[in-house]
């Protein structure tokens, strides 16, 4: 693996990194020279991502656990720092679709969405800030969604959470700019990952007769101007740019990566 890349010498962590966009990002950042803390609740898949990175000559450690636990959401920072000697970037990618329905809402699912989209990312950020400051600055990226920029009839609760993420990005960006800590978000449109299948076929989302999660994923992609869902690597490309020094004058941005959906 070529370790002289766009992230050479950087240390970072990626949450929800055993699958989808997080996995694509962890692998890409490592290929660009970063040492990566790969964080996910799925122990086996996390280990597989780390193995893939190390086999290709990169640097990574597996950190498995439940980000709903505050202690774990902090520990991921400390374990990455301990392994690699500091921290330069964080991709707070974990999230959850939450309930589709408002009438008859499942409040447990509401709480899960608030915990995984808002609370845990703030806990990790709180733990990361002193470490980024110690390096003289750094970069934090959140995963919002096009549902953080415009209403979604499929999920008003997801709107609350992802608009919240965008608000957090705006506030943190202004608060920490003087300390050279940049804070941005990527706002993916429908992206071809397991979560998109969960999203379109939630138990309370009233699957139209004859539709399967697979047909719905293609339909949802077909509604985008580019007429297809994104591939996880296309979101990872945007994440790489925003987290790297190439985006040195960009902070407080919520970047749509959505095939034109919010144009
Ligand atoms: N896929 C899409 O269409 C889409 C669009 C916009 C935004 N998003 C956002 O992207 C992120 C999800 O990424 P994805 O689509 O790559 O999903 P994915 O389904 O490929 O991966 C999600 C990962 O999160 C992990 N995870 C779930 N709960 C966890 C927990 N409590 N602690 C630690 N890890 C946990 C899972 O094990 C899994 O590996 C979320 O923030 C989601 O809101 C997704």
Quote the pLDDT of residue 121.
98
Quote the pLDDT of residue 2.
47
Report the catalytic residues.
Answer: 158
pLDDT tens per residue across span 205-218: 777 788 888 888 88
For the Cβ of 43 lying below 6 angstroms from any atom of ligand 1, the answer is no
Domain boundaries, the chain: 11-257
Residue 198 banded pLDDT, cuts 50, 70, 90: confident
Residue 96 · residue 112 · CB < 8 Å? yes
Of the candidates 233, 245, 249, 10, the one whose C-alpha atom is nearest the C-alpha of residue 257 is: 233
Mutate which of 94, 97, 161 for ligand 1 pocket (most atoms within 8 A of beta carbon): 94
The per-residue b/e assignment along 49-64, b for 16 or more CB within 10 angstroms, e otherwise, is bbebbeeeebbbbbbb
pLDDT tens per residue across span 55-79: 999 999 999 999 999 999 999 999 9
Compute, in angstroms, the gap from residue 195 CA to the centroid of ligand 1: 6
CATH of 11-257, one of 3.40.50.1580, 3.50.50.60, 3.40.50.720, 3.40.605.10: 3.40.50.720
Residue 199 banded pLDDT, cuts 50, 70, 90: confident
Of the candidates 256, 231, 247, the one whose C-alpha atom is nearest the C-alpha of residue 28 is: 231
For the Cβ of 196 lying below 6 angstroms from any atom of ligand 1, the answer is yes
pLDDT tens per residue across span 160-189: 999 999 999 999 999 999 999 999 999 999
Residue 116 CA: nearest ligand 1 atom is 31
For the Cβ of 59 lying below 6 angstroms from any atom of ligand 1, the answer is no
Residue 185 to residue 121: CA distance in whole angstroms: 12
Compute, in angstroms, the gap from residue 23 CA to the centroid of ligand 1: 10
Strand partners, 254: 185
Quote the pLDDT of residue 153.
87
What is the pTM for the complete model shown? 0.97
């Amino acid at each position: 693996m070529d370790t002289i890349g766009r992230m050479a010498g950087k240390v970072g962590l990626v949450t929800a990194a055993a699958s989808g966009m997080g996995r694509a990002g962890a692998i890409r950042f490592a290929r660009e020279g970063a040492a990566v803390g790969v964080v996910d609740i799925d122990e086996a898949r996390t280990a597989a991502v780390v193995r893939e990175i190390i086999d290709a000559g990169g640097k990574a450690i597996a950190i498995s656990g439940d980000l709903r636990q505050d202690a774990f959401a902090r520990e991921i920072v400390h374990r990455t720092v301990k392994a690699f000697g500091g921290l330069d970037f964080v991709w707070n990618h974990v999230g959850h679709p939450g309930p589709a329905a408002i009438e008859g809402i499942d409040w447990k699912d509401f709480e899960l969405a608030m915990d995984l989209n808002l609370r845990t990312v703030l806990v990790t950020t709180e733990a990361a800030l002193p470490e980024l400051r110690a390096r003289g600055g750094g970069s934090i990226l959140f995963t919002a969604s096009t549902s953080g920029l415009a209403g979604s009839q499929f999920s008003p609760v997801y709107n609350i959470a992802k608009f919240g993420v965008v608000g957090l990005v705006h506030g943190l960006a202004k608060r920490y700019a003087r300390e050279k800590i940049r804070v941005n978000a990527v706002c993916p449109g429908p992206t071809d990952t397991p979560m998109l299948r969960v999203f379109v076929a939630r138990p309370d989302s009233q699957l139209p007769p004859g539709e399967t999660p697979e047909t719905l994923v293609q339909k949802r992609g077909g509604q985008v101007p580019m007429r297809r869902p994104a591939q996880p690597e296309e979101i990872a490309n945007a994440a790489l740019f925003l987290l790297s020094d190439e985006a040195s004058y960009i902070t407080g941005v919520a970047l749509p990566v959505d095939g034109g959906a919010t144009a």
